A = this chain, B = another copy of it.
């Protein structure tokens, strides 16, 4: 028996959508959520793909994720919008907010949206790419529960807050930088633990708050560049959760509930407010060519642009299907079955 099942992307998208419709979401919202998850799988970012489905379904059952959210605009100015997402599925809330940010950018040159009370925002690059395709530059960040120590702290005190910047270009998909503020992702740390691999110094701490290279002892990743990643994550909490008047970190550290929730920000800049879009895109292409044309560093075979590895994997997986590890597939299938969605054993 194979250790993974390879599933055509369209099939996986349809199954995921069906599942979330049965879980109470509208067809359109379930389609958005499925598209966001399968987009991550296509790009090889399986940590943000359908492996999340059981968790999302569980959050719906527990009332943590609201499948029928009522979005409200709390406050609006010419260039800003403050949105209450009513515990919506992250992708649904983020797409709603992206629409507002881009509309504001068209009207005012720049749009800054803050999204309060969303849930797991999945892969931020998904929304940033969409915004870039509309002729805007995008900057997106999200705040969540404490998952790594602030620099100097020995316990989880800040989130591994992801942030993302995207710009359109003339040829090919937008440049999309989508990174966490931790030195390695939580998912990668878990994989290293499972594989029993040694960690590099500076990657993680143990339960006592001491640096460790022993993956068995490691409990959480460290911030990217120590005070830099920690400070960035802290500032993201300020720019998202505190602007949203929905603090996460302080509440959890004070001993309040640890129910999952997120807040996010989306900045869209209309490129045409500064320079003709064609000129900008040509300059991005030129920059990419210039950087790729520099001599390689010792130990490198090529120079990759932000998002390029994922673009390549997407081309491949679109053609050959998405490999899902057997255990993850069994879990997906179990949850789908519970919601009355029939999932074949093979494809």
Contact = CB atoms under 8 A, between A and B. Distances in A.
21 contacts: A77-B110, A78-B109, A79-B104, A80-B273, A108-B108, A110-B110, A150-B294, A152-B300, A152-B302, A152-B304, A153-B296, A175-B235, A177-B234, A179-B232, A205-B297, A224-B228, A242-B280, A242-B284, A243-B271, A243-B274, A249-B290
Interface stretch (A11-19, A85-93, A206-214): A206-214
A153 B296 CA distance: 4
Interface in A270-296: 270-271, 273-275, 279-280, 283-284, 286-287, 289-291, 293-296
B165 A232 contact: yes
Given A243-B269, A291-B253, A294-B154, A165 B283 contact: no
A110 B295 contact: no
Contact of A286 (B158, B239, B250): B250
Contact of A79 (B110, B155, B306): B110
Interface string A110-123: 11101000000000
A242 B82 CA distance: 29
Contact of A78 (B79, B155, B158, B234): B79
Interface string A223-250: 0110111011011011100111101011
Interface of A: 75, 77-80, 82, 104, 107-112, 114, 137, 139, 149-155, 157-158, 165, 167, 175, 177, 179, 183, 205, 208-211, 224-225, 227-229, 231-232, 234-235, 237-239, 242-245, 247, 249-250, 253-254, 267, 269-271, 273-275, 279-280, 283-284, 286-287, 289-291, 293-300, 302-306
